[in-house]
Structure 1
Amino acid sequence: MKSKLEICLASALVLIANSAEAAFISGSGDANYSTAYQGASAATFAGLGFTIGTGATDLKVSTGTYADPAGLVFGSVITANASAYGTTTGKLDYAYSIDSANTAYGNARDYKWLQNTGTNYSTNTAQDKPWLGTIWNLGGQANQAVVFPIVDHGPLPQEAVEYTVYLTNTPGSTNLADWSLAVLDQVYLQGWEADNTSLADGFTTVWKLAGGATFQYVSLQGVGSQALQPLYGDEDEIDAVAGLTADGGSVVTSVPEPSSFALAGLGLVALGYSRRRKSF
């Protein structure tokens, strides 16, 4: 008979094994998607002056529809720094409403979004102040952040990349040295939802840290060195954000370390021994 420790560890291994990267669903394109951006490539982004990994060829651009990695958990907004909140009401015509302030709008992929507006149109690195962005708790250590932007007007791809992404373990810090800049690693032209009739959720983007570094908090700032707002506005609309491991799996948020299981087991053994002694 397996011990509780063995059962718990086995469950943890199953959970981790199931955390695969985004799964391809369909390669069929959507007639409502403009061919100008449905055919975007790494060169499209490099041509816009984007810093992409260690070279333009590192960026991966995927067409078709993809599903979430198993067990994907969306981040929770802890610092809004938002200038507007809205709900997308038309998936094909970009229609939306402006709503009352509600930080929960950034906690789920539900076409409810919040917006962090930059201070000017400069992409100078001096504008990189992630503590002024919207900050999410990813729930666990992440090497990558997947961003689900809302597209409310053209042109694309610029409109879907209006933000600079930083990760940290000290979200209250105003020292840039405590933040790590993530670079664009992958673009999913038709998003991660099984809904390729929607324009609003297009261009899901994945941002990655070099060297396998991991952090628990992510900031998206509608200005800065990675944003494309100098051409097309400095007001991102973010539906949701989630953390990913270096291999593209979901961040593990609730499985204790094996040492925790062992300590719990020792505690149960000690409790049982104490009770037996009292019964004599």
Structure 2
Amino acid sequence: MKKITYSVLAALLLSPVASATLLTNPSDPRTWQGATINTFAGLFAQTNAQIIANNLLDDGNFDPTGYVAGSLIQYNGGLPTLGASGTSLDLPNNASANDASYNYVVSSNNPAVAANAIDQHWIQTNNTIGATIWDLGFQASKAAVFNTIDHGPLPQESIESTVYLSNDKVNWTQAVTERVWLEGIYSDTSVLWDGFVYAVGTGTNSTFRYASVIWGGPGALHADGDNEINGIMGLQENFSGNPVPEAHTWLLLGLGFAGLRYIRRSV
């Protein structure tokens, strides 16, 4: 009888199936906040057909609900609780004078609070590798970057950072863009600061525990001296996040472990 491990059982119980609405037409005429397939092809030095073949563009939202976001553990070389953070003022499905605007405010609120949740709050990193670090919470194959937009053009302003991945916070591997969700986080497409969500990876089977983000750098589509990072999330190989365990999931997991112990004692 083959040995069944607890980690395999946990993966079966906790891992969701990834869904996607990948673009399939190289001549798709649609625009997303002014960007077209031609725009992405030019910026990524690919043909339209290559953009489609590489599954780069997903005409959908990346809904972070139910997934574990990364935790900020170092901010621009210092404590994650010290520094400035920003708040975008146009909230989804909420009529106000800030609708369809990039309006925001900057304050001295705890940057860790802003960087640990996927919402309207964000931080700005410097351009030193390893200065701003998120703990992804598990051994992730990729990382999703939730970037807040404060001006155009797009998609340049939404991919204005380079992400580096590590297991020891000393040796860093540059990641590259592998997927872009064209509808951002929210279904309310009037929220302009919610531009594009993108995922980065290394193109290998390696997994990583930590992510560091800098403004500009070789993975960015442009560099204007800053970035606005809403949050970072570790992803599995299939571009799914690490789900937040619910009470009934823990119950199932406990029952599974009990069953495994019974099986092992019976064979």
Between the aligned partners of 1:69 and 1:34, the Cα distance in structure 2 is 21
Q: Which runs of no fewer than 5 residues in structure 2 stay unpaired?
A: 23-28, 77-81, 91-98
1:77 correspondence with 2:72: yes
Match of 1:111 among 111, 120, 129: 120
Aligned to 2:100: 92
Q: Aligned pair 1:242/2:238, yes or no?
A: no
Question: Are 1:62 and 2:58 matched, yes or no?
Answer: yes
**Structure 1 position 212, deviation (Å):** 1.3
1:22–1:248: 8 Å Cα contact kept in structure 2?
A: no
* Residues in 1 aligned to 2:5 and 2:142: alpha-carbon distance in whole angstroms: 31
2:201 partner letter: K
Q: Indicate if the aligned counterparts of 2:20 and 2:58 stay in contact, CA closer than 8 A.
A: no
Q: Structure 1 unaligned segments of length 5 or more: list them.
A: 119-128, 270-280
* Bigger shift: residues 141-150 or 241-250: 241-250
Contact 2:165–2:210 (Cα < 8 Å) also in 1: yes
> Aligned with 1:211: secondary structure?
coil
Shift of 1:23: 6.8
Matched, 1:14 2:13: yes
Query: For the Cα contact (< 8 Å) 1:19–1:71, is it kept in 2?
Result: no
If the length of structure 1 is used for normalisation, what is the TM-score?
0.69
Aligned AA for 2:113? A
Residue of structure 2 in register with 1:122 after alignment: none
2:228 maps to amino acid = E
Task: Encode CA deviations 1:175-201: one digit per residue, 9 max, x unaligned.
Answer: xxx111111111112213222221111
- Contact 2:143–2:201 (Cα < 8 Å) also in 1: yes
Q: 1:48-103: per-residue Cα shift (whole Å, max 9, x none)?
A: xx9xxxx866361223x324378421111001118641000035210000111412
Change (3 A) 1:71 1:23: farther
Instruction: Flag the 1:22–1:222 CA change in 2: closer, same or farther, 3 A.
Output: same
**Equivalent position amino acid for 2:41 in 1:** A
1:153-177 deviation per Cα after TM superposition (whole angstroms, max 9, x unaligned): 0111111111111111112x2xxxx
> Which one-letter code corresponds to 1:149 in the other structure?
N
Residue 209 of structure 1 corresponds to which residue in structure 2? 202
**1:59, 1:22 → 2: CA distance?**
10
- Distance in 2 separating the partners of 1:247 and 1:105: 27
Backbone CA RMSD of aligned residues: 3.8
Q: 1:209 to 1:67 in 2, by over 3 A?
A: same
Aligned twin of 1:121: none
- Deviation per residue, 1:132-171 (Å, 9 max, x gap): 2x21111101111111100000111111111111111112
Against the structure 1 CA distance between its residues 93 and 39, is the aligned structure 2 distance closer, same or farther, given a 3 Å change threshold?
farther
Indicate if the aligned counterparts of 1:116 and 1:221 stay in contact, CA closer than 8 A.
yes
Q: Which residue of 2 aligns with 1:278?
A: none
Contact 2:43 2:221 in 1 (8 A): no
**Aligned position for 2:26:** none
CA contact (8 A) 1:21 1:69 kept: no
Q: How many residues align?
A: 230
Indicate conservation of the 8 Å contact 1:40/1:61, yes or no: no
In 2, Cα distance between the equivalents of 1:30 and 1:228? 21
What is the rounded CA distance, in whole Å, between the counterparts of 2:104 and 2:65 in structure 1?
30
Look up the equivalent residue of 1:58 and give its one-letter code.
Answer: N
Q: What is the correspondence of 1:37-186 to structure 2 with a 5 Å cutoff?
A: 37=35, 39=37, 42-47=40-45, 58=54, 60-63=56-59, 65-68=60-63, 71-81=66-76, 84-90=84-90, 92-102=100-110, 103-118=112-127, 129-132=128-131, 134-171=132-169, 173=170, 178-186=171-179
The aligned counterpart of 2:185 is 192
Who is 1:221 aligned against? 214
Higher share in helix: 1
Name the TM-score, length of structure 2 as normaliser: 0.72
Contact 1:147 1:206 in 2 (8 A): yes
Native 8 Å contact 2:114 2:122 kept in 1: yes
SS in 2 for 1:66: coil
